[in-house]
Amino acid sequence: MIDAQALIHSYGLSHKNPTNKAIHWVCVPAIMWTTVGLLWSIPHAYFGIGAGTEWINWGTVGVLLSLLFYFRMSFTVGVGMAVVGFAILGLCHLAEVLSPWPLWQLCLAVFVVAWILQFVGHKIEGKKPSFLQDVFFLLVGPAWLLHFIYGWVGIPFTPEPTA
């Protein structure tokens, strides 16, 4: 099991400024969606599956692989991130159907803007982004936001330690 509390604490050390935090509340979900959307957009005909299987794509594979990390943090984190991941897949599908632009173009534009804003937030914070220390912090950011939501609704983020 991954020490979720230690990761969340470590991530939080470079995310204390209220402006930086606000930027992260917008940009982390945007980056998650756009990353999955870009993966979704990779041609996947080589899966050898016919029509009507638009959900079987690299975006879905990416979400499922990320869930391995989150379920290792804790069961409750895994469940929460599964809900988030499947919602993001739904948004990718909706954007693909409703957007006048190809999904990859829409995602690329939002991805670039979101990352620029993230770096602006860290400039304001005066600290480097956590992922520069360890690339796995790219997965910790969404869990960091989830831990606040869990706190607001009274769901334990990680299991209580047993004596």
Q: With 70 as the cut, is the pLDDT of residue 160 above it?
A: no
Residue 158 domain-assigned?
no
Tell me what pLDDT residue 47 has: 58
Give the count of domains, the chain.
1
Type of residue found at 159: P
User: What is the reported pLDDT for 1?
Assistant: 59
Calculate mean pLDDT across residues 111-132: 91
Who wins on pLDDT, 156 or 1? 156
What's the whole-number mean pLDDT along residues 134-160? 87
Distances (CA, A) of 139 to 31, 65, 67, 105, 142: 11, 11, 10, 23, 6
How confident is the model at residue 35, as a pLDDT? 97
- Span 69-73, average pLDDT: 93
- Among 5-19, 64-78, 86-100, 106-120, which stretch is predicted with the lowest mean pLDDT? 5-19
* Whole-angstrom distance, CA of residue 163 vs CA of residue 93: 46
In a domain, 7, yes or no: no
pLDDT (0 to 100) of residue 31: 96
Note whether residue 124 is domain-resident: yes
Residue 88 in domain: yes
Question: Dmax over Cα atoms in the chain, in whole Å?
Answer: 57
Q: CB neighbours of 96 closer than 8 A, spacing ≥ 6?
A: 40, 54, 103
